[in-house]
Structure formats: structure tokens, C-alpha cells
Structure 1
Amino acid sequence: MPADNWKGWGQELDELTVLEPIGQQPPIFRVTGAPEREVVVIGRECFDILPAGSTQSPSMVFLRNPAAGNSRGSFAELNEVIRVNPFDQPVMASFKAGQWTVHGPLFSKKIQSLIADIRPAFTPISQRVLAEKLYQLADSTSLSMTATRLINMKATLNAWRKGHAAPLAKLNDPLTMLDGARPTGSTYQSMNISYESSLDTFHRLDFLPGDPSDLAKLRGGADAMSAQELSELMTRQLTSSGYELLPGGDLMHFTPTLTFQRPGLDKLYMMSVRRVHNSQVAHELQPLPLGFPLSSTWLDAFLDRYAGTSVATRIAAAQEQGSLIRLVGGTNTTRVSGVRTQLFVVRVADDI
């Protein structure tokens, strides 16, 4: 049976096998010789295991197929083995009352496909990049495949599905995972927003419009929309993606601004809604002296303008607590392979 694939991974013990105990709970051994490797013993066979990673579990390991050889594992390798045969991926084994119990595979299909099921509002490219970033962030010790990485990935996907906090705060929501982009130029008047989501920079994610009428508007040209219509389009996109706009959080001062959160999580998002041309740089997003939208100078002026309102109070508190995430989002019209308009969101660096 496919679920019993792991039984073929065992290597029979003999009198020449030297096992050096390196962990008592669970019982883990090092096999000396070439290649040196860590194993657990089930019955009369030893099974190779993944490195623990940043967190050592007292009762759990992951058995790995020895056919993988000395490969340290990677996102691409994990996805490929899941595609070819999900039962050939590393499998969890738990130790209790002196007995090992081997469980089924963690992932039923490729990671980006699981993300597409949970966060269908993102474009396929964004889902793929997000999947690889999740793999990277799930364990800080290295980029190799570890037990910690697989557990945190699985727990994060479950948390996104159920609306709970992830095991690592950075993984609570795709927008919190983004790195902050910095404005360019001495006057902070432009920002490189790239062509689409990229693992190299990971400042940006793109949305698929959920409403057919919104998709028609984008195909018809974003320039035909007023600032109010653009703000309403982004509001529909965010709410259909599971975010919740704060009451009174759609403000039109300086530039259309949306303030929202994901229910159950502590981060507060503040988005400057923009209509951007050219993929590389959004030009002159805000005239001096206020500086780049959502910069400290801009935000101070914003809070002064709305002082006493519930939205300003929430924003100021989030800023004080370090839980405010600043974003620029809206439409991005490009002329690569023909004219197309995308809905994008870019995280702004926290310290501008």
C-alpha cells in the first residue's frame, strides 16, 4: 500500500552496525562510518531521519527515504517528490511508551496548490513565490529540509485555513511575511515595485479580482476609474480575501487610504491606494513636504488630521506597539507582452 512506502526505507541491522546514542527522548542514534547519518531503530531496522532544525522535539522525528542520498533537500525537491508520489515525502514518526508510530504524509499536493486552496485571491505567480517564502521562513537555521521546517509549514497552512495564529508570528499572514521596500531618491519620491511577485525581493504580492465586474474594469483600463472607485475596488478585494476594514477606515485625505486587519490577529494594515504606471518605479507618489506615503512624516500629518477619531487612535496605538504594517497597493499597468493591469500590494519599510 502507498501509505506503507516508508517500510521499504529501513536498513537491516547486523553485527557490524555501530550505533552511537545521541538522544534519549526520542531515542536517536548516529551510524558511524561513511556516510555518517542519524537514524531511529524500528524493529530490526534503522531508518534515516531528517535533521531536527531549530527546534528539537521530545517525541517526534521525520523518516526520510535513503534513496535521496546526501541531498540536504530543498523546496523544489519537496514539491517534486509530492508531485510524483506524496507517500515518498518524509513522514512523521512519534515515540510514546517505548513504541514508534509512523503517520501519513503531511502534504497531499504541491505547496503552492495548498496555498491556492487557502488563499485563492492571489495570482498563481504570487502563490508559488509565497510557497517558497513559507519554506524559507519556517526554519531560520538553514534552507535544508528539517523536521522543524515541515512542522511549521504544516501548522502555518492549518492556521491560515482556520484563521488562527501561526507557530511563528512572521508567518501569521502573507502580508506580514513581505519584506519592506524602500523609496528611492533623495526626496523619497519613487519606489521600485518590480513586475510581479519575486522571491529575490519579496516586497510584492498580486491579487486576482474576485468580482467579474472588477476584472472587466481592469481590462478596460484602470485610468478610467476615479480615486473613489479604485479605493472601493481594493476594499472589495481585501474583504473577499478575508480582511476586515476598520469602521471609518476608508479615508481620502492626502491619498485614498484603507485601514484593515485580519480577524483574530494583532497586526493592523494601513494601505495607501495608488494607480501606478510602469512596472519598475511608481513616480512622484506624494509631493513634498509630506514625503512618501506612509513615511513617518506623512503618518504624523495623517494622525494630526484625524486626531480623535477611532481610526487614528487605533493606528497610533499600533504604531506605538510595533504592530502597524504599512502598504502601498492598487493598480499597476504594465506594457510587457502587451498592456495589462494588475492589482498589487507592496509592503513599505517600517523605518522610513
Structure 2
Amino acid sequence: MNFFHRIRALVIKELQSIVGNPSSRALLIMPVILQTLLFPNAATLEVKNASIAIYNRDTGETANELVQRFAQCGAFTEVIPVHSQEELAESIESRSAMLAVSIPEDFSRKIAAGETGPVQVLLDGRRSNGAQIAMSYLQTITETFMKDRAAEQGRTIPSETITRYWFNPNLDFKNFLLPNLVAVITTIGALILTALSVAREREQGTFDQLMVSPLTPEMVMIGKGVPAILVAFFQATLILLAAVFIYDVPFRGSLLLLYLGMFFYALSLVGVGLLISSVCSTQQQAFLGAFSFMMPAMMLSGFASPVENMPKWLQMLTWPNPVRHFVEIVKEVFLKDASAERVLALIVPLAAIGFCTIGCASVMFRRKAG
């Protein structure tokens, strides 16, 4: 009981230093609110306000109908008619248009004759990602148009590809981003608080007092880690509530499995934070150390780009990265209703990472104490 009483006293002390004044409480809540408001609306790969330039050299009905379909697409809010090939190129060079379409003179005649009507499309390579997405919209419109024309002429289409998206039927980017945001903000909360807490004790001169107190290094580590885990749980819960009740992201899995994975994830982050703090003497050093870990960890997590797209040697380096495993947990539980076996399989590497980092931090703490 004396063991738990000492840890409880240290945990309360840490929580008071974290939430003991209004400015600290604001720093815990405001970043979560701001990121939850900004990320789903700003960090999106959807194309909603693209501009398209059209050079229609065909005055036929078929060509005009195709142009009208382009104009009616919600992704293209601005349609720029041009009257020469030079104006078409200028619309791309001046960034007036993301896409430029050139319809040849014989387009309507070829379609009426049952032939293929080629259409030239120029893309702005400076906005390659958005241009490719807009191009996929354009291709869908064109394929639908050609299918409708073939049906009017009584012709049959040899084959047709029907695409259905599992787990995110409407390809809503918020459904992808907000679960990932749980991992991102949990990383910031648990890692920064743990790394800075020990460095703060050193700067204030109270770390040596802790080491000569009845508290063992392991007790100090637990007392520093528990508040960070609680803060991470609190911040992640705020995002979960916002995702489900404000942004209508479907939650199909088990909350118990999600929070179980979150616990081991926060534990692994606490281990990394304690390891960073054990080799840093000031809060500035600890912050730089945490930031140096976070940036590569985010890039190697599969959040921005799939891990499968990385080189094989880089994929191997992602295995000791706790962010990668928790990103998979939160997405699969959120959108897929992952089974307990799948979640536990992803928790195993998190537990291993936490065991290794906390063990190394314990050795470093004992050396400092000695």
C-alpha cells in the first residue's frame, strides 16, 4: 500500500502541474479543438473547386452536350471557354485552369458514326495530385457520356467495370483523416508531456530531490507516465466524440478494443518520452528530441502515404515505430470493425516497443541516480 500511496502522491503532483492553472488547461484543450476544426477542412485531398478550360472546335450537338456535362460537375466550379490552342496553353501556364480540354472538329461526327472520339486533356503538373484527381472525375464523366450515347444508338458496350469501395463507400476524406488524427494528437500529448516533465524537474532543481526521496526510479517513471497517459486518453476522446457526433464518421468497431490499443500505444510513447528525457538536461533539449522523433514517426506511419509504397528497407524501419501500429488499429476499429484477434496482433508490437523503451529508460534513470 505504501508503494501505491507514493505513486499516487507523485501522480497528483504531476496532474496539478499540468492542469493547475488556466493557461495549462487551455494548452491541453485548444490545440485539440483547433486541429479537429482545421484538419478535416484544410488537409483534404478532395477536389471541389477546380477550374477547367475548354477549347471546343466542334459545333455539333454531341460536343456541346459533353461540354455541358463537364460544366455541371460539382468539382469544376469554373469553366473557362477558350478559342485557340494558344489560349488553352496560356490557361495552364497562368494557373487559371487546373485542366484544359481540347475537343476536335470531327468529334460529333465520329461519335455519330460509332467511332472513338479522342479528346485531348492537359494537366497542370505543378498541382499534380489535385490534377490527377480532377482527371479521374473527367474520365468518369466521359465514360458515362459515351455509355449513354452508345445506348441511344442501340450499341452495346463490350464490358463495363463497376467499382465499389468497402469501408468508405463515398470516399469521404474525413472518414480517413479523423481516425488518423486520433493517433497524431495522442502522440503529441503523451510524448511531449513525458519528455518535458523530467527535464522540467532538472531545470527547477527538484529532480535530485526525487532521486534521494523514498521514491525509486521506477516509481518516478510511473508517476511521470500515468498523467501523460491520462491526458492522451482525454485528448483522444475529444477527437472521437467530434468525429462521430460532429463529422458523422461511422464508428463500427469496439470501444473496448480501441481504448485497449490506445493504452498500449500511450505506454509505448511514454517509454519513448522517458528515454528522451533521461538523456536531456533541459526542456529545450527534450522538446527538440521529441520533435526529432515525431516527424520521422509520422512520415513512416502510413498516415500521409501507404507503407506499402515505401522501399523494402524503409518498410522494415517502420516496425519499431509505434505510430504505424496504432494508425492501423484506429482505422480498422473505426471503419472496419476489426476482430479482437487482429487488434491483439497489432497490440503485440506496441507492447514490445513499450517494454524495450521503458526498460532502456529505467537503466538510464538508475545511472543518473547513481
TM-score of the superposed pair, with normalisation by structure 1: 0.26
Q: Which has the higher strand share?
A: 1
Q: Which has the larger radius of gyration?
A: 2
Q: TM-score, normalised by structure 2?
A: 0.25
